[in-house]
Amino acid sequence: MAMPPSHDPPASAFTKKHVFAGIVATLSVIFVLLLLAEGVVRVRQWWLYGSLFQLEDVKVRQDIGGLDTPKPGYETRSIRINSLGFRGPELVVPKPAGTLRLAFLGGSTTFCAEVSSNEAVWAHRVWHDLQQRYPKIRIDYVNAGVTAYTTLHSLGIYKQQVAQLQPDVVFIYHATNDMTYEVYSLAESQGLVSRPQPTSWLGRYSLLWFLVEKNYQIRVIQANKKHIESLPDDFGQSFAVNLTQLIQEVKQGVDLVAVITWSQQMRQGHTKDVNRRAAASAQFYMPSLAPEQILQGYARYNGVIRRVARETGSVLIADEDRIPGDPVHFNDSVHFTDAGSRVMAERVIDGLLADPRWHEFVRRFAERHPDSVKTSP
């Protein structure tokens, strides 16, 4: 007896349809998971830095001199840029008579994107402490620190903007970006890979992919055994020239210049493993140096800072190891946490107060403004 014809689809068609549906479902789940992961890292970015986007969004290229500077009026949960384009409170321009104005020059470690608020930035803490110590003097400040700035960048922004604000005291905190550029040149001359690879187009739009790329590069860099054999005898000389030039420019219109030695999480007394972890971000930007060489390079640069301070007659603020070299005080190799920023401010204040030139400056300032200033001990 003949069987009735079947209306079921062939097994091969049934299988293909379900395989296709399974692939679509899997890809959809992966896509959703990636979106969730992107959301998580952006929320983390917001929690740490007050912005859902990368910190480069805070900067804009100026027409004068081609400097990247913070966008005037830019604001996140933790960062506020004033109308002049500096992180900090608004300034009265022109400067009122009898006002003692501080200025801070540096890179990202002076801008301090990693701390929780404008009030947690070490420059703000220095101003706050001095204002409390001298309550009868009206003190304000401008934080001209900008991420990625070297001494030459600070020279440019000082000439273009800061000098016109008439600061009375200028603090300079530079080293790591100048050292990074010098290491680039040194590595290139020896045929070594000297720079991290640029961010891909996807990394420019996806914070998750940017972090994946960056962490992968760090692992590759730390596994790399091809490093500069030794630092040359003249390592840091270009920094000395540029720092001297910056100080000489500032000294043309400022009563007091203070130069601060460099602090980093790596330390001579740490184990190799501890220093390797502490060097992660520094090695990302200087992959041709081993952790021990990075530490040696910073020591050379601190020697330069001490020598230039002496030769230019600047106040030297040292005691760089006063900030504990641990993750409690450092967000990475060189950037401060809130705790680190607080200790940084304390060492700057103590170094300033220990120098007789500061007290002489305050005395002379009071003499120039007898009607509006009454100093307190």
pLDDT tens, residue by residue, 205-248: 565 555 555 555 555 555 555 788 899 999 999 999 999 999 99
Q: Are residues 318 and 199 in the same domain?
A: yes
In a domain, 220, yes or no: yes
Task: Note the pTM of the prediction, 2 decimals.
Answer: 0.81
At residue 370, the pLDDT reads 79
169 forms beta bridges with: 102, 256
> Residue 216 corresponds to which tokens in the numbers above?
């992968």
Q: Are residues 240 and 104 in the same domain?
A: yes
Range 331-352 average pLDDT: 98
Residue 197 clears pLDDT 70, i.e. is over it: no
Cα 207 from Cα 45, distance rounded (Å): 9
Largest CA distance in the chain: 123
| CATH classification of the domain holding 244 | 3.40.50.1110
Mean pLDDT rounded to a whole number for the chain: 85
Cα 63 from Cα 61, distance rounded (Å): 7
Range 352-376 average pLDDT: 84
Q: Are residues 62 and 39 in the same domain?
A: no
At residue 321, the pLDDT reads 97
Residue 292 clears pLDDT 90, i.e. is over it: yes
Q: Are residues 100 and 85 in the same domain?
A: yes
- Count of beta carbons in the 10 Å neighbourhood of residue 36: 10
Range 141-146 average pLDDT: 97
Number of domains in the chain: 2
In a domain, 204, yes or no: yes
Q: Are residues 43 and 59 in the same domain?
A: no
Residue 192's domain comprises: 55-368
Q: Are residues 27 and 44 in the same domain?
A: yes
At residue 67, the pLDDT reads 83
Contact between 258 and 351 (Cβ < 8 Å) = yes
Cα 307 from Cα 43, distance rounded (Å): 45
Lowest mean pLDDT among 173-187, 216-230, 342-356: 216-230
At residue 200, the pLDDT reads 59
Residue 340 clears pLDDT 90, i.e. is over it: yes
Q: Are residues 40 and 82 in the same domain?
A: no
Q: Are residues 70 and 35 in the same domain?
A: no
Amino acid at 255: D
In a domain, 3, yes or no: no
Range 98-127 average pLDDT: 97
